A = this chain, B = another copy of it.
Amino acid sequence: MQTKTRKEQIYQVAGRLFSQRGYHATSMRDLASQLGMQGGSLYAHISGKEELLVEIVGQATDQFEAALNPLRAADLSPQQKLREAVRAHIRVVTDNLESATVFFHEWQHLSPEAYAKVVARRDVVEKFYRDLLEEGIDKGVFRQDLNVKLTAIMILSVSNWVYTWYREGGPLSAEQIADQYVDMLLPGLLVQQ
């Protein structure tokens, strides 16, 4: 296991600063000084400030996709698949709190091309939950009268919002948060027994 390349170090410190102060409020000199170098020296490693934002937001999106995609074809009941999805989703948020914060807060400040790509990849995550809900409806597990789109947004709301309040060392693990959320949400989704 090699130590981090200088480039990865730069991304990491940029993620921390962007999440704390915001993208536009972080100067390249702030970033450089935290890395023990001069402002201009950063450009030996990166092409510009926006590369940092593109990279951090891209890393976060990668993580969400890597966490959810394997569940698409998983052999689980809809209830169990929802539980595993929310667990994985919240774990991505809590394990990558800084890049998740940058992802949710700063992606609007990307250039139009990078912005469009992120929108498309966000839509994939939302579609994952819509497909999951529709699968559950087809199987007779979830209520037929669900508003699939709004329900997917509800699941995303609670899972994403974790980035605003979760702090390491808090009383609940990512799994515990997810399980308690799913326990509260499932009764409203399931058909009456």
Chain A interface residues toward B at CB < 8 A: 21-25, 105, 108-109, 147, 150-151, 153-154, 156-158, 160-161, 165, 172, 177, 180-181, 183-189
Main SS of chain A's interface residues? helix
In contact, B180 and A184 (Cβ under 8 angstroms): no
What's the number of copies of this chain in the assembled complex?
Answer: 2
**A to B CB contacts below 8 Å, 12 in the list:** A22-B24, A105-B105, A150-B177, A150-B181, A153-B161, A156-B161, A157-B157, A157-B158, A157-B161, A184-B189, A185-B185, A187-B187
Minimal beta-carbon separation of A91 from chain B (angstroms): 16
Could you say which residues of chain B place their CB within 8 Å of the CB of A109? 21-22, 25
Across the interface, do B151 and A184 meet the contact criterion of CB distance under 8 Å?
A: yes
